[in-house]
Structure 1
Amino acid sequence: MLPRDGAALGPDGERALAGFRELLYRERAEIEAECGVPARFVDTDPGEGPRWLIGPAACNPAISTYPRRGEGQAGVWLDREREVLITDAPDLFGVIEAISLIRTLVMTGQDAVFVSECRDLDEAIERITREVGWTYPSFALRGLDWEAICARHREEVARASDPLAAMQTWLAELQDAHTWIKPSPAPVPLPYEVWVEGDTAVFTRVPQGTAAWDAGVRPGDVLLDEDTAGWWARTGSTPHAKPLMTGYRLLSTPVGVERTLAARRAGGRRGGGRGGLRNRPPHPPGVSGPPPPPGGVPRVGG
């Protein structure tokens, strides 16, 4: 059962909820493969048979008819007797994180699993090791040895001055854009596209009317003064999509933060522009976590 009352999410709620519902529609085949049964999307609780109620509860009143421990938290619940699965959180971003915990719920045999922060870096490393090992579906398909990958990276992460970047490099070996570590709240991309190969990033899309366009930047210009090689190393993706996905990660910026970009024109002249973000669209589920502040630790969701 899908959430349907977007007005409960605020001024942009209807638009955000419509986008979320469309995402679920597009992922029907994946949902059916994961659940092992055909999926039918409905707006009312049928009241019987296996069913999945998707929050936020403010947009899906049927969820409140199933009392459960930890209500109000971001999490996933399974009532085996009534054959009801619930993913809920106060907002859409939390619901997406909760959905990523369904496999963890199944693997642990619990009746509820909640999105939670790690106490320290050691716990973050253990959670990545355990939950990716449980939930990643393509080890055999891609010929990946997760134990060997972990052995190469766990100590590197523990010693790293930037554990977030080290974790991203670790998960990049999975060659999967949906499984990685990201800051929280998640950054969103600027309105440009760049194609990255190794340490070089070339603009492929610069919309008219943007700050970069007004500053003279055009497709074919080279992005300067960014950690392009670093992003190439820590971006996981299939080989054919990695140049575009690395550019997507490279240009993602926290909401509300103004960012200055510099570029070299084909003729050698240097140009630049600033880009700001005003909203935050939903991000794909996966492993997520904020950069660890001094004395802080990453938050990881499987």
Structure 2
Amino acid sequence: MLSEPSHRRQPPIGFPQGIGARAAGRARASSRHAGSPILREDVATAGRWTLWHRVWACARGHHVLMSLQGIAANRPFHIDFPASLVDGATLALLVQERHELEAVLGVPVVFSEPPGGCFRWVAERVEPGEVPSLAWDAGSGRLVSRAADSNGLMATFSLLQTLAHSPGPQVSATPAGTIDEAIERIRTECETSYPYFTLRGLDWGALCADVMEDRPRTWEEFIPWASRWVARLGDAHTAVLDHDAGVSHPLYTAELHANGATMIEVPQTSAAFAAGVRVGWVVQIDDPAHWLRTVGASPQQHRRMAARRAMAFNGPERSFGATDPRTCRSVTWVERAVPHALEQLMTVRKNRAGDAVVVLRAFDPSAGIECVLDEVCAAATQRQHMVLDLRGNVGGDIMLAGRVRDRFLRTRTMVGSAAFTDGRGGLSEPQPRWAEPPVHGAWPGTLTVRVDASTYSAAEDFLVGVKGLDHVTVVGERTGGGSGRPRTVPLGPGCSLRISTAITYDRLGNPVEFHGIAPDRCSGTD
């Protein structure tokens, strides 16, 4: 989860969001700016990026190119989808995240046909209810997505890495027919497209061997068993998704312990706050040990992510109870599954020093966050200071996170890099990413960003682009450490597997995944 707005389920696509719309198309232009200080730093740290790539590749080994035979390196792939299946926002996402496609295809991906011809990725509409599929025809040089609608088309992008290691020329989003097939699907898909084994010091073969003696016999047993297995990867983006599990997430930050979820943040606009719940209260959770075993996350955020999943719910509402351990006072309240209002996601005030204090709890593109931020920026002067509070912000739409980040840039800036898995057990070279400030609406003053271990995913993509700039200071805790860009593949009845596919790096070549982003100072005030 964690890359989606907190009140809705993440769509099943392989690269749900990117780093920023303006970063797309900039990486290839880097050679034209070889004299810039940032690029000299880029060259100096290229060895570190290459080392990560080579260590990972040697540890995992490279699988032989299978279903995508016949792709020549001197011919690009032209993405040629009808407007009826791809809207403007999706197309912008594809342009921005094209390096993920290039990592698998091994050739450049373009969105306007270049002279001299090229391979083509086309889409064909099928009857409603037909399972999305992806097929490669080497004879015609066409990769064909077959889907009934835009959601189905996006599902075919998750199939690209599956096609890369499959023996046949076509794959589909068909659930596994047996438990053994679903188990093998988890083993193979993680082995060929999960990028963090070396970075996290994991032996996938040993993890698989540990769980196989206790294989489930029914689908009811399969979901918790598989969840425990995949959770051992320690990655909140990579998980077995129970389609009947909670998809509504109250905007609280808590840590899960044996006695329940201890509240770390209780927004004043929340139902819990109205009921009297405050920081330090303990929310009643059934079987906390279950959530601690079945939710994976980096060590610095594991208990917080487990609490978030434990407090999620399906349906229109859920009742909660909490107790103040100091006074033994208890209260109950009801959370309702409605889209979060702007005032719940974002608050703006001034502190005693006159600084603008902006609290942003999620990057939700439907809430009107950019309009409010534009008003704040328009009223500011170069002497103005902003405190942007991203504590508890587990992500959302990374396109939005990129646009917000751009408002704090002063010039065209390298905002990090990303490497993607190729679907065969390999990892691409990291591709630098660039962004630039908007023509209008940039913040003219200085910035302090407050973060904690719950700052994650899209929030880290925002942070990695501004940390280290002369006018920006980051205070708080080390962040959660999530690169993500997950793809989703079906497993069995009512469940699917979501797998991370990327390693993002800061501009010095340090990986964000697992390690998180260290603050400039360990604490700070408004």
Q: Same fold (TM over 0.5)?
A: yes
Equivalent residue number for residue 170 of structure 1:
229
Q: Which has the larger radius of gyration?
A: 2
SS of 1:131's partner is helix
Higher helix fraction: Structure 1 or Structure 2? 1
**CA–CA distance in structure 2, aligned partners of residues 300 and 257 of structure 1:** 26
CA 31–277 in structure 1, closer or farther in 2 if over 3 Å, else same: farther
Aligned mate of 2:305, from 221, 227, 245? 245
Q: Match for 1:116: what amino acid?
A: T
Aligned mate of 1:231, from 291, 313, 318? 291
Q: Which has the higher contact order (CA 8 A, sep 6+)?
A: 2
Equivalent residues of 2:132, 2:156 under 8 A apart: yes
Q: Match for 1:237: what amino acid?
A: A
CA 290–71 in structure 1, closer or farther in 2 if over 3 Å, else same: closer
Equivalent residues of 1:139, 1:145 under 8 A apart: yes
Equivalent residues of 2:236, 2:298 under 8 A apart: yes
1:136 Cα deviation from its structure 2 partner: 2.0
Equivalent residues of 1:194, 1:205 under 8 A apart: yes
SS of 1:117's partner is coil
1:179 Cα deviation from its structure 2 partner: 2.3
- Please list the CA deviations of residues 25-79 of structure 1 after superposition, one character each: whole Å capped at 9, or x if unmatched: 6645544444444555x4x7779424545xxxxxxxxx23xx8999942232333
CA 214–301 in structure 1, closer or farther in 2 if over 3 Å, else same: closer
* CA RMSD between the two structures: 4.0
1:243 Cα deviation from its structure 2 partner: 3.2
Higher strand fraction: Structure 1 or Structure 2? 2
Equivalent residue number for residue 264 of structure 2:
204
Range that drifts further, 95-104 or 232-241: 95-104
CA 73–194 in structure 1, closer or farther in 2 if over 3 Å, else same: same
- Please list the CA deviations of residues 81-107 of structure 1 after superposition, one character each: whole Å capped at 9, or x if unmatched: 444434454455544543332221110
CA 21–147 in structure 1, closer or farther in 2 if over 3 Å, else same: same
Equivalent residues of 2:489, 2:498 under 8 A apart: yes
Equivalent residue number for residue 265 of structure 1:
324
Equivalent residues of 2:129, 2:148 under 8 A apart: no
Q: Match for 1:225: what amino acid?
A: I
Equivalent residue number for residue 158 of structure 2:
100
Q: Match for 2:311: what amino acid?
A: L
Taking structure 2 as the reference length, the TM-score comes to 0.44
**CA–CA distance in structure 2, aligned partners of residues 242 and 162 of structure 1:** 24
In the alignment, is residue 286 of structure 1 matched against residue 515 of structure 2? no
In the alignment, is residue 132 of structure 1 matched against residue 201 of structure 2? no
Equivalent residues of 2:234, 2:297 under 8 A apart: yes
Equivalent residue number for residue 295 of structure 1:
none
* Structure 2 unaligned regions, length at least 5: 1-78, 340-395, 398-484, 500-526
Equivalent residue number for residue 118 of structure 2:
49
Aligned mate of 1:193, from 227, 239, 252? 252
SS of 1:188's partner is coil
SS of 2:322's partner is strand
In the alignment, is residue 112 of structure 1 matched against residue 138 of structure 2? no
**CA–CA distance in structure 2, aligned partners of residues 92 and 250 of structure 1:** 31
* Structure 1 unaligned regions, length at least 5: 54-62, 293-297
Q: Match for 1:240: what amino acid?
A: Q
Range that drifts further, 126-135 or 144-153: 126-135
**CA–CA distance in structure 1, aligned partners of residues 488 and 216 of structure 2:** 22
CA 177–227 in structure 1, closer or farther in 2 if over 3 Å, else same: same
Q: Match for 2:231: what amino acid?
A: A
Equivalent residues of 2:131, 2:174 under 8 A apart: no
Aligned length: 274
Equivalent residue number for residue 56 of structure 1:
none
CA 89–31 in structure 1, closer or farther in 2 if over 3 Å, else same: same
In the alignment, is residue 181 of structure 1 matched against residue 240 of structure 2? yes
Aligned mate of 1:277, from 334, 337, 343? 337
1:208 Cα deviation from its structure 2 partner: 4.2
- Please list the CA deviations of residues 107-164 of structure 1 after superposition, one character each: whole Å capped at 9, or x if unmatched: 0142221111222323222222233223223323333222221111123242687321
Q: Match for 2:235: what amino acid?
A: D
Range that drifts further, 154-163 or 68-77: 68-77
- Please list the CA deviations of residues 152-192 of structure 1 after superposition, one character each: whole Å capped at 9, or x if unmatched: 11232426873211111101122222322111266423222
**CA–CA distance in structure 2, aligned partners of residues 179 and 289 of structure 1:** 14
**CA–CA distance in structure 1, aligned partners of residues 147 and 246 of structure 2:** 20
CA 260–154 in structure 1, closer or farther in 2 if over 3 Å, else same: farther
Percent of pairs with identical residues: 30
Equivalent residues of 2:81, 2:121 under 8 A apart: no
Q: Match for 1:223: what amino acid?
A: V
**CA–CA distance in structure 2, aligned partners of residues 87 and 241 of structure 1:** 38
SS of 1:195's partner is strand
SS of 1:169's partner is helix
1:300 Cα deviation from its structure 2 partner: 5.5
